[in-house]
Amino acid sequence: MSDPADKRRHPRTPLNVLVQFRFDTFDEFLAEYSVNISPGGIFVNTDEPREEGSVIYLQFALKDGSKLIEGMGKVVRVNPVGDPKRPAGMGIEFLNFDDESMALIAEICAQRSTKN
């Protein structure tokens, strides 16, 4: 089986921020922490990932709370609970984020990659 990292279009940047998300069937937000982010998507650590192909609404803020990043995403990868090699959760591809949100994501990735 091939390594999913080989298919990635963007390098991942570690990021631990609280991400709120909502599915079509829920009226309220659920919240979990991210593991990493890239200009193309985010990985959210959760014991209850949604199925691949699910479309969800995401929002998260910068640590200082000054900027809100929000938009639609699609679950493109699911790591099941109990896999000792990978954290449980879901990889979410950014689908519909405004230009300001995408610029902030690019800035987060650039700043964090220069620190490593």
Q: What's the CATH code of the domain at 103? A: 2.40.10.220
- Looking at mean pLDDT, say which of 40-44, 57-61, 81-85, 111-115 comes out highest: 40-44
Dist CA 41 CA 78 (whole Å): 13
What confidence score (pLDDT) does residue 116 get? 52
Asked if residue 45 is part of any domain, the answer here is yes
Which residues have CB under 8 Å from 45's CB, separation 6+? 32, 33, 34, 35, 87, 88, 89
Domains identified in the chain, total number: 1
pLDDT in tens, 28-67: 678 999 999 999 999 999 998 999 999 999 999 877 777 7
Asked if residue 56 is part of any domain, the answer here is yes
* pTM, to two decimals: 0.84
